[in-house]
Amino acid sequence: MYGGMDVGGTKIESCLFDERFRPLERRRVDTACATYEELLDCIVGEARWLDARAGRAVGLGIGLPGLVDHATGRALTSNLPATGRPLREDLVVRLGRSVAMANDCKCFALSEANGGAGDGGETILGLILGTGVGGGVAHHGRLVLGHNDLPGELGHLGIPGRCVAAWGLPILPCGCGRVGCYETLVSGPGMARLAGRHGGTDRSPPEIARLARAGDEAMAATMRDWLGLLAELIHTAQCTIDMDCVVLGGGLSRIPEVAAMLASAYGALRMPGRPTRFASARFGDASGTRGAAMLLTRS
C-alpha cells in the first residue's frame, strides 16, 4: 500500500492506495498552520492516520503548492509556512521512513500519465487551469523534474506581443511580481477579466461558458479570446517539449467540451505534423493524492 497526501494552504487530503493505486480510504482535514512546526505536526498526524488505516507504516508521497528542490527537499511556497525549510528531511526524521515530495501540479501530471487521461502517451503535458495556471510534464510515465522542478510551469510565461497587439489586451500585474503573464488572463479570474472587456462584469467561468453556448455574442467572444490565448500557450509548449497529449485539470477543465474546443483553437495555428491529443483529467481533484503516492515508484 501507498500513502498519498495533497497539502494545501487550508486543507490536507490524505488517501491510502493499494499496489495498483486504487483508493482504499480517504479523508480531508481543514488546517490553519501558522508556523512551520504546526505544519510538520499536521502532516505527521495525517501520516499516522494513514499508518493506522493500513495497519503498518506506509511509504508517503506528498504534493504541495510551490516548488520543491528535489535535491535538498527544501520548499519555496507562498501558501505554506515552509519556504527555505528542509521539509522533506524533517519529515523523514520525524516519521523514520523515506518521503517523496513534489509540486502538486507535477503530481497531477504523473497521475494522469499513468492510468489517467494521458495513459499510453509518450510525452504528456498536464495543464491545470484554476485560480492559477500551472502544470507538469511526464515522459514515458515518469515525471520530468528538470533542473529546478519547473517543466510545465507555463502560467508565468509572457503573453506574446502579437496577441496583445491583435486583440488590444491589457498587460496586467501578476502575483509573481512581473506583468503580462498568461495567468493574468487564462486562469479563472483571468477569464472573468476577459469577459469584463466584452461587457460582462462579475461573470464566473461556468456562467461565461454557458452563455457562450446559448448564443450570447459577448461571452462567445470572451471564449474565443480565452481559447486563442491558451492555444498560443500550447504552441509555446509544443515547440519546447513537443508533447503528444495535453491533459487539462483544475476548475476550468470542467467546462463542457473544453478539450475539444482547445484542440480546435490550437489546430488553427499549429505547425504541420502529427496532431496533439487533448483530454480533460480522468481523476480530477483526486489526482493530487494519487500522483503524490506515485512519486514513490515513478519519479
User: Counting contacts by CB under 5 A, is residue 174 touching Zn ion?
Assistant: yes
**Alpha-carbon distance 262 to 264, whole Å?**
5
Q: Does 179 bind Zn ion (CB under 5 A)?
A: no
β-strand pairing of 59-64 with 2-7: parallel
Question: Is residue 176 within the footprint of Zn ion (CB under 5 A)?
Answer: yes
8 Å CB contact between 219 and 225? no
Q: Point out which span in 38-46, 171-179, 263-271, 278-286 binds Zn ion (CB under 5 A).
A: 171-179
Please work out the total of residues on this chain that contact Zn ion, with binding judged by CB under 5 A.
4
Output the CA–CA distances (angstroms, integers) from residue 145 to 68, 114, 129, 153, in the order listed. Answer: 10, 16, 20, 11
The residue with cell 528538470 is: 146
**Cβ nearer to Zn ion, comparing 82 with 181:** 181
Q: Closer to Zn ion by CB, 133 or 143: give it.
A: 133
Interacting residue with Zn ion among 12, 68, 181, 279 (CB under 5 A): 181
Integer Cα distance of 191 and 234 in angstroms? 17
Q: Is 67 in the site for Zn ion (CB under 5 A)?
A: no
* Cell numbers that stand for 242 in this block: 513537443
Q: In the complex, what is the shortest distance from the CB of residue 206 to Zn ion, in angstroms, rounded to a whole number?
A: 24
Nearer residue to Zn ion within complex by CB, 46 or 153: 153
Minimum CB separation of residue 271 from Zn ion in Å reads 26
Residue 186 or 295: the one with the smaller Cβ distance to Zn ion is: 186
Measured at the alpha carbon of residue 217, what is the angle toward residues 214 and 218, in degrees to the nearest 5?
115
Total Cβ atoms within 10 A of residue 210: 15
Comparing CB distances to Zn ion, the nearer of 187 and 276 is: 187
* CB 28 within 8 Å of CB 62: no
Does position 156 bind Zn ion by CB under 5 A?
yes
Minimum distance from residue 182 beta carbon to Zn ion (Å) = 8
| Binding status of residue 186 toward Zn ion by CB under 5 A | no
Task: Give the shortest CB-236-to-Zn ion separation in angstroms.
Answer: 15
Q: Work out whether 110 is an interface residue with Zn ion (CB under 5 A).
A: no
Stretch binding Zn ion (CB under 5 A), from 71-79, 93-101, 167-175, 286-294: 167-175
Nearer to Zn ion, 15 or 181 (CB): 181
Q: Which of 100, 74, 87, 97 is nearest to 39 (CA)?
A: 87
Question: Nearest distance from residue 128's CB to Zn ion, in Å?
Answer: 15
Q: Report in angstroms how near the CB of residue 124 gets to Zn ion at its nearest.
A: 24
CA–CA separation, 193 vs 197, rounded Å? 7
Residue 292 Cβ vs Zn ion, minimum distance, rounded to whole Å: 25
CB nearer to Zn ion: pick between 181 and 279: 181
For residue 163, CA distances in Å to 14, 78, 183, 191, 216 come to: 42, 30, 14, 15, 23
Cα separation of 276 and 263, whole Å?
A: 8
Using CB under 5 A as the criterion, which residues of the chain lie in contact with Zn ion when the complex forms? 156, 174, 176, 181
